[in-house]
Amino acid sequence: MTKKAVFLDRDGTIIVDYGYVHKPSQVELLPGIIEALVTLKKLDFELIIISNQSGIGRGYFTKKDVDLVNAHLQSLLKAHGIELSGIYYCPHSPDDRCDCRKPKPALILQALKDHGIDPKHSYFVGDKWTDVQAAIRAGVPPVLLSKEHTISMNTIPVLIVDSLLEWTKLIDQGDM
């Protein structure tokens, strides 16, 4: 059977983006996230986080901090029966010119390979244009979360919705 996934940005997509979230106490799920992720699991999507954590490369916090935040997030989700298949993050600052910081697609490509996932039956949901670019480069259909539905930075068709929950309702109804 084809394995499919919803790749998810973390900050601003699953949890509130307070800017360089680095403590478990700062982890706050966005409204509707539990319902959205439960729906995606019901539809047989694996859930994989792809996140830029340049605060590490900038010296604001450590990998350990990020791992603790991620572990806390996972425990919040697990309380609702939601298991993530993986969390991938780039620890570099933009100055490092690495291959893994979104909009580069390396982390998505790695996750596709690690989990044997078909990109064409998968989605990437994020709140920044760099998420969309990374998704397109990895061959995964992008979904952009934005209140502004008139983003015209490109000629590429991108689905824009208000929230992860709004989008999951669309796919649950078979509207996509």
The interface mask with Mg ion, positions 56-95, x = CB under 5 A, is ----------------------------------------
103 in contact with Mg ion (CB under 5 A): no
Site for Mg ion (CB under 5 A): which residue of 5, 6, 11, 122? 11
User: From the CB of 13, what's the least distance to Mg ion, in Å?
Assistant: 5
Q: Give the nearest distance from C-beta 91 to Zn ion in angstroms.
A: 6
- Closest by CA to 89, choosing from 98, 79, 81, 80, is 98
> Is 9 one of the catalytic residues?
yes
Residues with Cβ within 8 Å of 43's Cβ and at least 6 positions away in sequence, in order, are 171, 172
Active site residue 175: no
Q: Which residue has the tokens 């996932």?
A: 117
Site string (12-31) toward Mg ion, x via CB under 5 A = x-------------------
Q: Interface mask (CB under 5 A) for Zn ion, residues 72-111, using x and -?
A: ------------------x-x-----x-xx----------
Q: Which does 98 bind (CB under 5 to 8 A by kind): Zn ion, Mg ion, none?
A: Zn ion
**Shortest Å distance, C-beta 23 to Zn ion:** 22
Per CB under 5 A, residues contacting Mg ion are: 9, 11-12, 127
Instruction: List residues binding Zn ion (CB under 5 A).
Output: 90, 92, 98, 100-101
